[in-house]
Structure 1
Amino acid sequence: MNPSVVSRVALANVVANGVIVVTGGAVRLTGSGLGCPTWPECTDGSIRPTPELAGHGLIEFGNRLLTFVLVVVAFATVLAVFASVRRDLRRLAVLSLLGIPAQALLGGVTVLTGLNPWTVAAHFLVSAVLVAIATLLWLRSREPGVGQLLVRRPFALLVTGIAVTVAAVQVAGTVVTGSGPHSGDPEAGRTGLDPELMSQLHADVVFLLIGLTVALLVGLHATDSPGRVRRAARDLLLVELAQGLIGYVQYFTQLPAVLVLLHMAGAVLITVYTARLVWSVRGPASELPVGAAPVATTAVR
């Protein structure tokens, strides 16, 4: 199969995974988390919402339908990858597909437990992992294969540290969400943790993330590292700053739903740009490792 086709399908997979996270946030922010009070059916004896459930049922049911769209896109991605010569992409494509039924089951548990905040958090975090996998798959599909490390090893380790810190930020963010308002339903429980304390902890980890990203960017420029890595670090920092600004504004304006939804979209972008940074430190399969001298060739006379 044409590599450009594989890349386009893989990009659609990234978009689909990101959209379903944002629409899931809309379900919670509209209080429609239990619009379909059971699972896998919407109500006992019906897969569709009943008129009694009104708008909340339609919103939750619509989000569930998007899962089928995601399955189609992920399945198309697997078919495209397996029809190409890119064996190195197969594991990512399969993981992206298998993550969907796992996520659906977790969503069912979330509904059946009355939107327990810890299962809601896990539901989001699994989605973030799927977004990262889909992003890596798409970026790798645009090159002939994964090559050698393009930066010095300390920088590669710092990139790994940034990725781990992003994961910590996401986890802390879900704890903040589970401790505050916007539970998804008036009857849903909360973690019982202090929202203000959790918000401060979340902010502290964000400051650490921004500091690590700034340090990486300065180091990359000081050592004249490849442009693709510097651009990836720069763009991630810009997204982090924008996300931090939205976070502060929403906190001091009592968490309006619109800003919370923007913050969720920002979390998706943070995941995408972090995956891009991780991808950037290795060049295409044809690239030489950092510090390697090109092989000299002697002309045959």
Structure 2
Amino acid sequence: MSSPTRPGRWLLIAAWLSFVAEVVIIGTGGAVRLTGSGLGCSEWPLCTPESLVPTEELGIHGFIEFGNRTLTGVVGVLALAVLVLTFLHVRSRRGLRLTIWFAAGGIVAGVAAAVIAGAFAAPAFVVFSSVVLVAVIAAAIVTVRTVSERRDLVVLAWIVVAGVVAQALVGGITVLTGLNPFIVGFHYVSSVVLVAVTAAYLVRAYDGPGPRERAVPVWFAVLTHLTTAALAVTLAFGVLTTANGPHSGDANVIRTGFDASVLAHVHSVPGYVLGGLLVLLVGAGAVLRLPTLRWSIALLAVVVAQIVVGVYQAREGLPPIAVGIHMVLAALAAAAMTVVVLRLKRPVAPVAGVDEGDRVEASASSN
């Protein structure tokens, strides 16, 4: 069977919308935290014990929190749309049928487990979400094996779907634990990972099918991965710093116990290292005319903007709008870094008289 061509327009539109939604929900999640609306809705998935939607008594905080929850549904629908369209693109109707069966079974099992949990005064929604997440993971494992072409797209689409379900689960736990700073931080990091995965899906979709070969020198690839590590460390300390800052999501939330001023200085060190490494990547990419150059420049621009915003917010006492911009820029940096890493390789150009198996073997030997 011939390999599917590049995904069609509707799949690419859905993939782009999924990426944008993942970035936007980081912004709305930041708004929840920065306006002190983290507990605007006291329950999960209901907003109050008696109402799914916020009431007037909750004020603006309830509507801000509920708006972020509503966007979670939009993110989930878009993730499912990408998954379904991906199965149709790779012509795996069996995989799509199995997905529907797993979805139905997971929902039924989740409802049953939630009813039992409720009888024992356990958090029903957490139990429901956990069962559905297990069903999603099982469906991913089973259906990926039914796909012979563009398995990379199917895997990436499943990761986003599973991530959205996991985020709903973590969101519920966040509310139930009264905005535990570590769980809130994990919630944010998970969102950044999903932004990176949706960006990876777009890159692989536009690249098309077939084997790939290294497009840069080995030392440049190593330098790029070191830059990725520096970005990860910077993000980790940034999350820890925010967890100890003034914007915890609610005035009554207990901090993690670290000194925020010290963490801010620690956070800046890997940030400056990251900037220096990116200057090297851009310089080397320009001299050698590497395929990573354009996205390395984009990433450097985002990181420079991050540094400027970071310095500004530190000097101005962490104004909420600056912190929110800092959070969104971090997600965009992760997306750009993902593209740079994926551009370390390029699709193998077809060679007349060489079959697919020979090309795969040649690509493997070159790496």
TM-score (norm 2): 0.75
Aligned partner of 2:17 in structure 1 is 12
- Aligned match of 2:274 in 203, 209, 224? 209
Is 1:27 the counterpart of 2:32? The answer is yes
Aligned partner of 1:157 in structure 2 is 222
- Aligned match of 2:235 in 156, 159, 170? 170
How far does residue 217 in structure 1 lie from its aligned partner after superposition? Answer: 2.1
Return the alpha-carbon distance in structure 2 between the equivalents of residues 17 and 285 of structure 1.
31
Return the alpha-carbon distance in structure 2 between the equivalents of residues 187 and 42 of structure 1.
19
Is 1:140 the counterpart of 2:204? The answer is yes
- Aligned match of 2:158 in 94, 97, 102? 94
SS in structure 1 at match of 2:33: helix
SS in structure 2 at match of 1:216: helix
Aligned partner of 2:97 in structure 1 is none
Aligned partner of 2:74 in structure 1 is 69
Q: For this pair of structures, how many residues does the alignment match?
A: 288
Classify 1:48/1:231 alpha carbon distance in 2 versus 1 (closer, same or farther; 3 Å): same
Return the alpha-carbon distance in structure 2 between the equivalents of residues 112 and 269 of structure 1.
30
Aligned partner of 1:297 in structure 2 is none
Return the alpha-carbon distance in structure 1 between the equivalents of residues 282 and 236 of structure 2.
25
**8 Å CA contact retained: 1:232, 1:276:** yes
Aligned partner of 1:299 in structure 2 is none
Q: Could you give the per-residue CA deviations for residues 125-169 of structure 1, whole angstroms, max 9, x where no partner exists?
A: 000111100000011111213521100111112211211221111
Return the alpha-carbon distance in structure 2 between the equivalents of residues 4 and 50 of structure 1.
41
Classify 1:181/1:115 alpha carbon distance in 2 versus 1 (closer, same or farther; 3 Å): same
Aligned partner of 1:191 in structure 2 is 256
Relative contact order: is structure 1 or structure 2 higher (C-alpha 8 Å, sep ≥ 6)?
Answer: 1
Aligned partner of 2:120 in structure 1 is none
SS in structure 1 at match of 2:346: strand
Aligned partner of 1:84 in structure 2 is 89
Q: Could you give the per-residue CA deviations for residues 149-205 of structure 1, whole angstroms, max 9, x where no partner exists?
A: 100111112211211221111111111101110111111111121111100010001
TM-score (norm 1): 0.91
- Aligned match of 2:193 in 129, 134, 147? 129
Is 1:245 the counterpart of 2:245? The answer is no
Aligned partner of 2:138 in structure 1 is none
Of 41-50 and 104-113, more deviation after overlay is shown by 41-50
SS in structure 2 at match of 1:27: helix
Aligned partner of 1:118 in structure 2 is 182
Aligned partner of 2:168 in structure 1 is 104
Question: Percent identity of the aligned residues?
Answer: 40
**8 Å CA contact retained: 1:3, 1:142:** no
- Equivalent position amino acid for 2:84 in 1: L
Segments ≥4 residues shifted beyond 4 Å = none
Classify 1:160/1:287 alpha carbon distance in 2 versus 1 (closer, same or farther; 3 Å): farther
- Equivalent position amino acid for 1:270 in 2: A
How far does residue 285 in structure 1 lie from its aligned partner after superposition? Answer: 4.1
Return the alpha-carbon distance in structure 2 between the equivalents of residues 284 and 33 of structure 1.
45
Return the alpha-carbon distance in structure 2 between the equivalents of residues 125 and 284 of structure 1.
31
SS in structure 2 at match of 1:262: helix
Unpaired stretches in structure 1, ≥5 consecutive residues: 293-301
Unpaired stretches in structure 2, ≥5 consecutive residues: 91-149, 352-358, 363-367
Q: Could you give the per-residue CA deviations for residues 13-58 of structure 1, whole angstroms, max 9, x where no partner exists?
A: 1001010011000011111000011212211132212221111111
Aligned partner of 2:298 in structure 1 is 235
**8 Å CA contact retained: 1:3, 1:141:** no
Aligned partner of 1:256 in structure 2 is 319
Q: CA RMSD in A?
A: 1.8
**8 Å CA contact retained: 1:40, 1:108:** yes
Q: Could you give the per-residue CA deviations for residues 61-99 of structure 1, whole angstroms, max 9, x where no partner exists?
A: 111011110111000000111111333210000001110
Return the alpha-carbon distance in structure 2 between the equivalents of residues 94 and 45 of structure 1.
34
Return the alpha-carbon distance in structure 2 between the equivalents of residues 40 and 225 of structure 1.
52
How far does residue 271 in structure 1 lie from its aligned partner after superposition? Answer: 1.2
- Aligned match of 1:49 in 54, 58, 79? 54
Of 67-76 and 212-221, more deviation after overlay is shown by 212-221
Aligned partner of 1:296 in structure 2 is none
SS in structure 2 at match of 1:184: coil
Return the alpha-carbon distance in structure 2 between the equivalents of residues 62 and 216 of structure 1.
40
SS in structure 1 at match of 2:212: strand
